[in-house]
A and B are shown apart, each in its own frame.
Chain A
Amino acid sequence: MDLVFKALADESRRLLLDRLRADNGQTLNQLCAGLPGMTRQAVSKHLVILEEANLIAAIKRGREKLHYLNPVPIHEIAERWIGKFERSRLDALSQLKQALERRDE
Protein backbone atom coordinates (compact mmCIF):
# COMPACT_ATOMS: atom_id res chain seq x y z
CA MET A 1 0.00 0.00 0.00
CA ASP A 2 3.05 2.28 0.54
CA LEU A 3 3.80 1.95 -3.16
CA VAL A 4 0.28 3.11 -4.05
CA PHE A 5 0.49 6.25 -1.92
CA LYS A 6 4.01 7.05 -3.13
CA ALA A 7 2.90 6.62 -6.73
CA LEU A 8 -0.13 8.86 -6.21
CA ALA A 9 1.92 11.58 -4.50
CA ASP A 10 2.97 13.08 -7.81
CA GLU A 11 0.95 15.33 -10.05
CA SER A 12 2.35 13.99 -13.33
CA ARG A 13 1.50 10.43 -12.35
CA ARG A 14 -2.04 11.44 -11.37
CA LEU A 15 -2.30 13.15 -14.76
CA LEU A 16 -1.25 9.92 -16.48
CA LEU A 17 -3.98 8.05 -14.58
CA ASP A 18 -6.49 10.71 -15.66
CA ARG A 19 -5.44 10.22 -19.29
CA LEU A 20 -6.11 6.48 -18.97
CA ARG A 21 -9.39 7.10 -17.22
CA ALA A 22 -10.48 9.18 -20.23
CA ASP A 23 -9.14 6.63 -22.74
CA ASN A 24 -8.12 3.27 -21.32
CA GLY A 25 -5.60 0.95 -22.99
CA GLN A 26 -3.04 3.34 -24.51
CA THR A 27 0.47 2.63 -25.77
CA LEU A 28 3.47 4.66 -24.58
CA ASN A 29 3.36 6.58 -27.89
CA GLN A 30 -0.30 7.49 -27.45
CA LEU A 31 0.26 8.61 -23.87
CA CYS A 32 3.23 10.78 -24.94
CA ALA A 33 1.24 12.34 -27.80
CA GLY A 34 -1.46 13.35 -25.30
CA LEU A 35 1.06 14.90 -22.91
CA PRO A 36 3.27 17.23 -24.95
CA GLY A 37 4.59 18.84 -21.75
CA MET A 38 6.29 15.62 -20.64
CA THR A 39 9.32 13.95 -22.21
CA ARG A 40 9.03 10.37 -23.36
CA GLN A 41 11.63 9.43 -20.78
CA ALA A 42 9.60 11.00 -17.97
CA VAL A 43 6.37 9.30 -19.09
CA SER A 44 8.21 5.99 -19.27
CA LYS A 45 9.67 6.42 -15.79
CA HIS A 46 6.29 7.35 -14.27
CA LEU A 47 4.63 4.35 -15.94
CA VAL A 48 7.13 2.01 -14.27
CA ILE A 49 6.31 3.46 -10.83
CA LEU A 50 2.56 3.23 -11.50
CA GLU A 51 2.91 -0.35 -12.69
CA GLU A 52 4.96 -1.33 -9.63
CA ALA A 53 2.18 0.10 -7.46
CA ASN A 54 -0.32 -1.96 -9.55
CA LEU A 55 -2.26 1.23 -10.34
CA ILE A 56 -1.59 0.50 -14.00
CA ALA A 57 -1.84 -2.96 -15.53
CA ALA A 58 -0.05 -3.36 -18.85
CA ILE A 59 -0.86 -6.17 -21.25
CA LYS A 60 0.76 -7.20 -24.53
CA ARG A 61 -1.40 -7.27 -27.61
CA GLY A 62 0.56 -8.32 -30.69
CA ARG A 63 3.62 -6.09 -30.63
CA GLU A 64 1.93 -3.38 -28.61
CA LYS A 65 2.05 -2.85 -24.87
CA LEU A 66 -1.26 -1.35 -23.73
CA HIS A 67 -1.63 0.43 -20.39
CA TYR A 68 -4.85 0.25 -18.37
CA LEU A 69 -5.94 2.00 -15.21
CA ASN A 70 -6.32 -0.81 -12.65
CA PRO A 71 -9.13 0.05 -10.21
CA VAL A 72 -8.37 -2.85 -7.80
CA PRO A 73 -5.82 -1.16 -5.46
CA ILE A 74 -7.94 1.99 -5.10
CA HIS A 75 -10.95 -0.19 -4.29
CA GLU A 76 -8.87 -1.95 -1.59
CA ILE A 77 -7.95 1.39 -0.01
CA ALA A 78 -11.61 2.43 0.02
CA GLU A 79 -12.60 -0.93 1.57
CA ARG A 80 -10.00 -0.54 4.30
CA TRP A 81 -10.99 2.90 5.50
CA ILE A 82 -14.55 3.37 4.36
CA GLY A 83 -17.17 0.84 5.41
CA LYS A 84 -20.30 0.27 3.37
CA PHE A 85 -22.54 2.32 5.68
CA GLU A 86 -20.23 5.30 5.58
CA ARG A 87 -20.07 4.85 1.81
CA SER A 88 -23.82 5.26 1.26
CA ARG A 89 -23.70 8.38 3.43
CA LEU A 90 -20.73 9.68 1.45
CA ASP A 91 -22.51 8.90 -1.82
CA ALA A 92 -25.49 10.94 -0.64
CA LEU A 93 -23.21 13.82 0.35
CA SER A 94 -21.34 13.68 -2.93
CA GLN A 95 -24.63 13.71 -4.88
CA LEU A 96 -25.81 16.68 -2.84
CA LYS A 97 -22.53 18.48 -3.54
CA GLN A 98 -22.87 17.78 -7.27
CA ALA A 99 -26.49 18.94 -7.33
CA LEU A 100 -25.62 22.17 -5.51
CA GLU A 101 -22.66 22.85 -7.74
CA ARG A 102 -24.72 22.23 -10.85
CA ARG A 103 -27.22 24.80 -9.65
CA ASP A 104 -24.39 27.34 -9.40
CA GLU A 105 -23.37 26.93 -13.03
Chain B
Amino acid sequence: MSKSTIDTVAYKPKSVYRTYIAATPDEVWRALIDPEFTKQYFFGLATEVEPRAGGRFRLLWPDGREHITGEVVQWTPPRRLCVSWDIQNMPPFSELPTCLITWDIEADGAATRLTMTESHDWDVPHEIMAGGEEGWPKIISGLKSLLETGKALSFDMSVGPPPEFVAAVEKAAKEKPWMRK
Protein backbone atom coordinates (compact mmCIF):
# COMPACT_ATOMS: atom_id res chain seq x y z
CA MET B 1 0.00 0.00 0.00
CA SER B 2 1.58 3.26 -1.10
CA LYS B 3 1.43 6.38 0.99
CA SER B 4 1.49 10.09 0.42
CA THR B 5 4.37 12.17 1.76
CA ILE B 6 2.11 15.14 2.59
CA ASP B 7 1.52 15.83 6.28
CA THR B 8 -2.16 16.74 6.31
CA VAL B 9 -2.49 17.45 10.05
CA ALA B 10 -1.55 21.13 9.77
CA TYR B 11 -4.14 21.76 7.05
CA LYS B 12 -7.51 23.22 8.00
CA PRO B 13 -10.60 23.41 5.77
CA LYS B 14 -11.15 27.05 4.75
CA SER B 15 -13.76 26.78 1.98
CA VAL B 16 -16.38 24.14 1.22
CA TYR B 17 -18.36 23.79 -2.01
CA ARG B 18 -21.26 21.37 -2.32
CA THR B 19 -23.64 20.30 -5.05
CA TYR B 20 -26.13 17.50 -5.65
CA ILE B 21 -25.85 15.75 -9.01
CA ALA B 22 -28.33 13.43 -10.75
CA ALA B 23 -25.66 10.80 -11.45
CA THR B 24 -24.10 7.81 -9.70
CA PRO B 25 -21.01 8.11 -7.46
CA ASP B 26 -19.03 6.19 -10.11
CA GLU B 27 -19.99 8.69 -12.79
CA VAL B 28 -19.02 11.61 -10.55
CA TRP B 29 -15.71 9.94 -9.72
CA ARG B 30 -14.98 9.45 -13.41
CA ALA B 31 -15.73 13.11 -14.12
CA LEU B 32 -13.01 14.03 -11.60
CA ILE B 33 -10.24 11.78 -12.92
CA ASP B 34 -10.89 11.49 -16.68
CA PRO B 35 -9.21 14.26 -18.75
CA GLU B 36 -11.93 14.02 -21.43
CA PHE B 37 -14.36 15.20 -18.74
CA THR B 38 -12.21 17.79 -16.95
CA LYS B 39 -11.34 19.49 -20.28
CA GLN B 40 -15.04 20.27 -20.68
CA TYR B 41 -15.75 21.85 -17.29
CA PHE B 42 -12.36 22.86 -15.82
CA PHE B 43 -11.39 25.79 -18.06
CA GLY B 44 -10.11 23.37 -20.70
CA LEU B 45 -7.61 21.72 -18.33
CA ALA B 46 -6.83 18.01 -18.67
CA THR B 47 -6.30 16.07 -15.46
CA GLU B 48 -3.60 13.44 -15.09
CA VAL B 49 -3.79 11.30 -11.97
CA GLU B 50 -1.70 8.29 -10.98
CA PRO B 51 -4.32 6.08 -9.34
CA ARG B 52 -2.69 5.56 -5.92
CA ALA B 53 -1.85 7.50 -2.78
CA GLY B 54 1.56 9.09 -3.33
CA GLY B 55 0.98 9.16 -7.11
CA ARG B 56 1.46 12.20 -9.30
CA PHE B 57 -1.35 14.64 -9.98
CA ARG B 58 -1.36 17.37 -12.66
CA LEU B 59 -3.73 19.68 -14.51
CA LEU B 60 -2.50 20.63 -17.99
CA TRP B 61 -3.45 23.36 -20.43
CA PRO B 62 -4.36 22.24 -23.99
CA ASP B 63 -0.75 23.07 -25.12
CA GLY B 64 0.66 20.72 -22.46
CA ARG B 65 1.89 23.40 -20.05
CA GLU B 66 1.42 22.61 -16.35
CA HIS B 67 -1.16 24.66 -14.46
CA ILE B 68 -1.39 22.58 -11.28
CA THR B 69 1.03 19.97 -9.96
CA GLY B 70 0.69 17.88 -6.84
CA GLU B 71 0.50 14.49 -5.26
CA VAL B 72 -2.39 12.13 -4.62
CA VAL B 73 -2.89 12.27 -0.84
CA GLN B 74 -5.88 9.93 -0.71
CA TRP B 75 -7.25 7.66 -3.43
CA THR B 76 -10.47 5.92 -2.36
CA PRO B 77 -12.68 5.37 -5.43
CA PRO B 78 -15.49 6.33 -5.69
CA ARG B 79 -15.62 8.03 -2.25
CA ARG B 80 -12.71 10.38 -1.76
CA LEU B 81 -9.96 11.95 -3.82
CA CYS B 82 -7.54 14.27 -2.04
CA VAL B 83 -4.67 15.92 -3.88
CA SER B 84 -2.05 18.50 -2.98
CA TRP B 85 -2.28 21.59 -5.15
CA ASP B 86 0.56 23.80 -6.38
CA ILE B 87 -0.13 26.48 -8.98
CA GLN B 88 2.56 26.67 -11.70
CA ASN B 89 3.66 29.26 -14.29
CA MET B 90 1.19 31.90 -13.14
CA PRO B 91 2.82 34.61 -11.01
CA PRO B 92 1.91 35.84 -8.44
CA PHE B 93 -0.44 32.86 -7.88
CA SER B 94 2.35 30.30 -8.25
CA GLU B 95 4.05 31.85 -5.18
CA LEU B 96 1.27 30.64 -2.89
CA PRO B 97 2.04 27.65 -0.66
CA THR B 98 0.64 24.16 -1.30
CA CYS B 99 -3.01 23.66 -0.47
CA LEU B 100 -5.12 20.50 -0.34
CA ILE B 101 -8.18 19.88 -2.49
CA THR B 102 -10.46 17.09 -1.29
CA TRP B 103 -13.45 15.72 -3.22
CA ASP B 104 -15.99 13.72 -1.23
CA ILE B 105 -18.64 11.73 -3.07
CA GLU B 106 -21.68 10.32 -1.26
CA ALA B 107 -24.86 8.70 -2.57
CA ASP B 108 -27.89 10.71 -1.44
CA GLY B 109 -31.12 9.00 -2.51
CA ALA B 110 -31.26 9.05 -6.32
CA ALA B 111 -28.61 11.77 -6.45
CA THR B 112 -24.96 12.05 -5.48
CA ARG B 113 -23.62 14.66 -3.12
CA LEU B 114 -20.29 16.14 -4.17
CA THR B 115 -18.34 18.20 -1.65
CA MET B 116 -15.08 19.96 -2.38
CA THR B 117 -12.99 21.15 0.56
CA GLU B 118 -10.04 23.54 0.16
CA SER B 119 -7.59 23.28 3.08
CA HIS B 120 -4.62 25.46 3.98
CA ASP B 121 -1.87 25.39 6.59
CA TRP B 122 -1.63 29.18 6.95
CA ASP B 123 -4.01 32.00 7.76
CA VAL B 124 -5.23 32.85 4.25
CA PRO B 125 -6.50 36.45 3.87
CA HIS B 126 -10.22 36.84 3.25
CA GLU B 127 -9.67 38.42 -0.20
CA ILE B 128 -7.76 35.36 -1.41
CA MET B 129 -10.45 32.92 -0.25
CA ALA B 130 -13.10 35.21 -1.81
CA GLY B 131 -11.19 35.07 -5.11
CA GLY B 132 -11.40 31.28 -5.13
CA GLU B 133 -15.09 31.53 -4.36
CA GLU B 134 -15.54 33.33 -7.69
CA GLY B 135 -13.98 30.50 -9.70
CA TRP B 136 -14.82 27.19 -8.01
CA PRO B 137 -18.64 27.44 -8.30
CA LYS B 138 -18.23 27.80 -12.08
CA ILE B 139 -16.17 24.60 -12.22
CA ILE B 140 -18.52 22.68 -9.93
CA SER B 141 -21.69 23.85 -11.72
CA GLY B 142 -20.03 22.94 -15.03
CA LEU B 143 -19.27 19.43 -13.77
CA LYS B 144 -22.89 19.02 -12.62
CA SER B 145 -24.26 20.30 -15.92
CA LEU B 146 -21.97 18.02 -17.94
CA LEU B 147 -23.06 14.90 -16.04
CA GLU B 148 -26.76 15.78 -16.04
CA THR B 149 -27.19 17.11 -19.58
CA GLY B 150 -24.10 15.91 -21.45
CA LYS B 151 -23.34 19.55 -22.13
CA ALA B 152 -20.81 21.68 -20.30
CA LEU B 153 -21.45 25.34 -19.57
CA SER B 154 -19.42 27.75 -21.60
CA PHE B 155 -16.68 29.53 -19.72
CA ASP B 156 -15.37 32.92 -20.69
CA MET B 157 -11.56 32.74 -20.57
CA SER B 158 -11.26 36.46 -21.33
CA VAL B 159 -12.48 37.22 -17.81
CA GLY B 160 -9.41 37.03 -15.60
CA PRO B 161 -9.31 36.90 -11.80
CA PRO B 162 -10.87 39.98 -10.10
CA PRO B 163 -8.29 42.78 -9.49
CA GLU B 164 -8.71 42.72 -5.69
CA PHE B 165 -7.95 38.98 -5.74
CA VAL B 166 -4.75 39.55 -7.76
CA ALA B 167 -3.76 42.42 -5.44
CA ALA B 168 -4.23 40.23 -2.34
CA VAL B 169 -2.15 37.43 -3.86
CA GLU B 170 0.59 39.91 -4.88
CA LYS B 171 0.70 41.22 -1.32
CA ALA B 172 0.92 37.69 0.10
CA ALA B 173 3.62 36.71 -2.42
CA LYS B 174 5.67 39.69 -1.25
CA GLU B 175 5.12 39.37 2.50
CA LYS B 176 4.97 35.55 2.67
CA PRO B 177 2.83 35.40 5.83
CA TRP B 178 3.04 31.58 5.78
CA MET B 179 6.70 31.84 6.85
CA ARG B 180 5.61 33.27 10.22
CA LYS B 181 4.30 29.95 11.52
Contact = CB atoms under 8 A, between A and B. Distances in A.
Interface of A: 24-25, 54, 57, 59, 61, 66, 68, 70-72, 74-76, 79, 84, 88
Interface residues of B, number: 21
A34 B13 CA distance: 20
B137 interface: yes
Contact of B141 (A25, A54, A59, A79): A79
A71 B115 CA distance: 12
B32 interface: no
Contacts of B15: 24, 68
Given A72-B140, A76-B141, A84 B156 contact: yes
Interface in B1-56: 12-20
B107 interface: no
B79 to A, nearest CB: 14
Interface of B: 12-20, 115, 117, 129, 133, 136-138, 140-141, 153, 156, 159
Contact of B14 (A25, A70, A72, A74): A25
A79 B153 contact: yes
B156 A57 contact: no
B137 A59 contact: no
Contacts of A61: 13
Contact of A57 (B16, B129, B141): B16
Given A57-B115, A75-B138, A70 B13 contact: no
Return the 8 tightest CB-CB contacts between A and B, nearest first: A75-B137, A68-B16, A57-B18, A57-B16, A72-B137, A71-B133, A71-B137, A70-B18
Contacts of B19: 54, 72
Contacts of A79: 141, 153
